């Protein structure tokens, strides 16, 4: 016979064990990833034109990073860095991989334009921890089957392999085969409805089916990348805007609505308290093609001014991250992979040659210091380094520029002539980093003259 006291003790131990198990449960992870959004084109970033109530609410429930950077100012390289946690130049992914456009200028054929198979992706790492993984939307990391999401760590896929496509269904095959809508591997069929909504619905379906095990959803919207195609009913909500700006507002509204549907589903299923949600963007907004606004930052997509490489960035993890908070030190999208992996129970020793860091100790005030003292960018001979508050930009056709980002975040005053020793020191540090990189696997000769490539090799061979 068991005594009353022993039964009570057993029940207490069972309760404690259940609470420990609950506390150690792996969090779900949802990455909401926009394309070509302007730094200032969201309500939580101060926009008075754009309507983004769902993302604004997300910002109020977590942390907003004020100095979040991407590893490149264009789509493909930025995504390659994010999904590997490594500077993409370390494996030669320096330029956009657009085979139909590049083959005439580069020495590389389309089938080889992707993340090398030797690189582990975010999907690979999380699958190793038992996560169900899915990728929806724009891939842009290799067009042939060997680079396909299902061969790079993801269980499910609905999207397109290329870099841009229509939002409404194609009546005929698109001109670029890589932009056909594909379910999993090789099953091509156009969708019904507006693509931004379709991608969110697919993510919701996956979440519902995988709710009883840890899951990772990479929801890679093509919004708000060109072509400029918004639903008329969305544009009608912006009577005071015209032209591309009106179309962008409609597309941004649909992006926010789609994100809201995913967030609502997490709450409905009771998963929101144990789900890490990230919202960010792949590069600065193009102020010409889609009328994005990056103000008060200087620059635009494709350059290394702050407006080309600094992006909106939100993170929510209830109980781990303080609501309505901000984090002001520089971080990078390279940090997402190690952050997710460590949150899922991964060990440091399993992360191989990673350039990113786990952000959770920093935003939860468990670690002093800052995640990155130095960050780098490179495209051809063009190179940039941010070291502390100092930022040096190197060009092939004009003198370098030097800015103090703390005092001049809008990069209005070039200080290079006043601080020659600082310029020299940052040049040396940038060169030292470049010596650790691979030669670009493909490069647009139209953009970069042979003299620049020879100069790159000269530095690398010193």
Question: Which residues carry out catalysis?
Answer: 75, 140
The answer to whether residues 70 and 309 touch, using CB atoms and an 8 Å cutoff, is yes
- CB 387, CB 422: distance < 8 Å: no
- Can you point out the beta strands (E) in 172-285? 182-183, 187-188, 215-220, 275-281
- Say how far apart CA 156 and CA 143 lie, in whole Å: 17
CA angle 199, 29, 325 (to 5 degrees): 105
Numbers of helices and strands, H then E, in the chain: 13, 17
Burial class (CB in 10 A: 0-12, 13-18, 19+), 128: middle
Burial annotation 372-407 (CB, 10 A radius, 16+ → b, else e): beebbbbbbbbbbbbbeebbbbbeeeeebbbbbbee
- d(CA 297, CA 284) in angstroms, rounded, equals 10
3-state secondary structure of 64: strand
Q: Residue 433, SS3?
A: helix
User: For the purposes of burial, counting CB atoms within 10 Å of the CB of 242, is it exposed (0-12), middle (13-18) or buried (19 or more)?
Assistant: exposed
């Amino acid at each position: 016979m068991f005594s009353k006291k022993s039964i009570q003790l057993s029940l207490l131990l069972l309760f404690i064990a259940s609470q420990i198990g609950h506390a150690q449960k792996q969090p779900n992870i949802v990455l909401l990833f926009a394309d070509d959004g302007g730094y200032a084109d969201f309500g939580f970033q101060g926009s008075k034109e754009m309507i983004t109530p769902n993302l604004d609410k997300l910002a109020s429930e977590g942390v907003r990073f004020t100095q979040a950077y991407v590893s490149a100012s264009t789509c493909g390289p930025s995504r390659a860095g994010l999904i590997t946690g490594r500077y993409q130049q370390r494996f030669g992914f320096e330029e956009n991989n657009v085979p139909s456009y590049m083959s005439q200028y580069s020495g590389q054929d389309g089938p080889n334009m992707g993340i090398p198979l030797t690189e582990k992706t975010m999907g690979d790492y999380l699958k190793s921890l038992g996560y169900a993984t899915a990728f929806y939307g724009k891939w842009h990391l290799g067009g042939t089957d060997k680079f396909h999401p299902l061969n790079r760590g993801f269980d499910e896929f609905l999207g397109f392999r290329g870099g841009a496509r229509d939002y409404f269904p194609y009546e005929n095959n698109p001109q670029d085969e890589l932009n056909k809508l594909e379910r999993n591997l090789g099953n091509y069929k156009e969708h019904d409805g507006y693509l931004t909504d379709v991608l969110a619905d697919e993510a919701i379906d996956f979440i519902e089916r995988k709710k009883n095990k840890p899951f990772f959803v990479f929801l890679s919207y093509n919004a708000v990348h060109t072509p400029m195609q918004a639903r008329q009913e969305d544009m009608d909500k912006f009577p005071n805007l015209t032209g591309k700006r009106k179309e962008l507002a409609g597309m941004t509204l649909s992006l926010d609505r789609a994100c809201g549907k995913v967030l609502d589903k997490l709450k409905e299923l009771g998963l929101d308290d144990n789900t890490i949600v990230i919202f960010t963007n792949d590069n600065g907004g193009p102020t010409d093609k889609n009328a994005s606004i990056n103000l008060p930052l200087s620059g635009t997509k494709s350059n290394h001014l702050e407006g080309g490489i600094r992006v909106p960035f939100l993170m929510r993890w209830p109980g781990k991250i303080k609501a309505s908070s901000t984090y002001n030190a520089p971080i990078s999208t390279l940090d997402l992979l190690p952050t997710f992996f460590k949150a899922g129970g991964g060990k440091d020793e399993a992360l191989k040659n990673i350039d990113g860091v786990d952000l959770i100790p920093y935003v939860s005030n468990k670690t002093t210091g800052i995640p990155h003292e130095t960050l780098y960018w490179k495209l051809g001979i063009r190179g940039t380094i941010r070291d502390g508050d100092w930022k040096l930009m190197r060009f092939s056709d004009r003198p370098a520029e030097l800015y103090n980002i703390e005092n001049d975040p809008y990069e209005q005053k070039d200080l290079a002539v006043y601080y020659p020793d600082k310029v020299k020191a940052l040049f040396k540090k940038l060169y030292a980093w470049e010596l650790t990189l691979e030669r670009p696997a493909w490069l647009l000769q139209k953009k970069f003259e042979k003299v620049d490539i020879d100069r790159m090799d000269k530095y690398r061979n010193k």
